[in-house]
């Protein structure tokens, strides 16, 4: 396995594990505000801080040391290297097209909204 790919895969696993830990922490905090039993459990510091960190560490270890997951990550990294990215000129042109289309569609939707609002107000009176 290429060292660069291994570093990218490990960094991806760390990032995913941290996001899962943060999500679990926020879910616990939200449920603690809503449910009394979860609030009692959430008041314990080991649960409040230790559970998200523990889950993140277990998730990272299970991803990092699973040979099938590492093989899949290597395949993904190899496929990403095959992607042909657009040039700066093409990216700029496509961005301008998207901005123009969003502006045109917003004008059309705003016009329909004003016209329908005027018609409804006219019919109600």
Per residue in 97-112, pLDDT (tens digit) is 999 999 999 999 999 9
Percentage of the chain with pLDDT > 90?
Answer: 83
Per-residue pLDDT tens over the stretch 39-62? 999 899 898 999 999 999 999 999
Could you give the C-alpha distances from 124 to 64, 111, 115, 117, 120, in angstroms and in order? 65, 20, 14, 11, 6
pLDDT at 1: 61
Mean pLDDT of 64-87: 92
Give 72's pLDDT tier (boundaries 50, 70, 90).
very high
pTM: 0.66
Per-domain boundaries in the chain: 1-83, 85-125
Residue at token pair 């080991």: 46
Contact 75, 2 (CB under 8 A): no
């Amino acid at each position: 396995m290429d060292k660069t790919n291994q570093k990218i895969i490990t960094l991806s696993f760390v990032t995913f594990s941290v996001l899962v830990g943060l999500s679990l922490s926020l879910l616990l905090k939200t449920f603690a505000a809503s449910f009394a039993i979860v609030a009692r459990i959430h008041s314990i510091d080991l649960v409040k801080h230790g559970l998200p960190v523990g889950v993140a560490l277990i998730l990272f270890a299970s991803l990092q040391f699973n040979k099938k997951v590492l093989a899949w990550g290597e395949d993904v990294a190899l496929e990403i290297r095959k992607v042909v990215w657009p040039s700066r000129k093409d990216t700029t042109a496509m961005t301008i097209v998207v901005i123009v289309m969003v502006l045109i569609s917003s004008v059309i939707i705003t016009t329909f909204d004003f016209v329908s609002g005027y018609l409804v107000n006219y019919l109600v009176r």
